[in-house]
Amino acid sequence: MLKDLIIIGAGPAGITAAVYAARKKLDFSVISKDIGGQAAWSGDIENYTGFQFITGPDLALKFKEHLEKFEFDLREGVVVSGAERDGNNFKITTSNGNTMLAKTLIIASGKHSRFLNIPGEGEFKNRGVTYCATCDGPLFANKVVAVIGGGNSALDAALQMTRIASKVYLINLAEKITGDPVMQEKVAASSKVEILNKTKLLEIYGDKFVKGIRIEAEGEKRDLSLEGVFVEIGLAPNSNFIDFVKKNKLGEIIINCASETSVPGVFAAGDVTNVPEKQIIIAAGEGAKASLAAYRYLSTHRS
């Protein structure tokens, strides 16, 4: 069956696009591994308009409740593995082997965590190495952990773990931590956090579970005994499934101010795009723009 629109992803951008598409009475599907995307992994959110304070999981729940007000085809737990042109339309292939056709696409597939690619990372994944403090933080109650990175995601993870762990090492390769000044101040004020700048993580080791890490700073190597490693070194766009739209050197899909890609009928929104600021509220706004642009395209291209 030929849909008006397929939205790939259900983070803030995809969810907002779906709300606008539903209000425009489009015949559309949403395909996503989960609901909420990166927002669901966030800790405390203090900069989303309308909420002076809300947690990431709670905001994701609000998003889902809003979606449930509308009737449309939602395919949760499904990953898009391929996209191609099919005449004037677009064909989507999913991880379960199904294919779908649509007149337009909105790619709102977000990003995924970057890997360290060091010895021990793969071996101890889910055995002390994790990429989500919100998801896995409670497993490390009263334990010593390390957060790897120096940006907002690392600061957020470190702040979350100050409430759970007994000690938090913040290991940053750069000369100083970055991220929002307010978050920097909170991290610096915590007696539980030890910031190690200009420090390289060399190895993660253990037996059945993580027991420690080896680091190097100013030419000197040493070991830190700990039980958890939270990798927060940035994100890479989930854009490998589509190869016929233009991307930048980071793999982000290039869009204009109307959320249009290089291919007519294909739109993109949120963290998968080259829009510079990766914020929940910006992703939501971009999702609205993409949905309205898709509606305009359909209005002028319908036979």
Cite the active site residues: 132, 135-136
CA distance 161 to 141: 9
Tokens of 262: 């290089």
Closest CA to 201 of 114, 113, 121, 112: 121
Q: Residue 60 CA to chain centroid, in angstroms? A: 13
Q: Residue 208 CA to chain centroid, in angstroms? A: 29
Could you tell me whether strands 2-8 and 167-171 are parallel, antiparallel, or unpaired per DSSP bridges? unpaired
Tokens of 156: 């957020």
Number of C-beta neighbours around residue 94 at 10 A: 17
Based on DSSP, count helices (H) and strands (E) in the chain, helices before strands: 6, 19
Could you tell me whether strands 99-107 and 89-94 are parallel, antiparallel, or unpaired per DSSP bridges? antiparallel
Helix (H) or strand (E) holding 80: strand 80-86
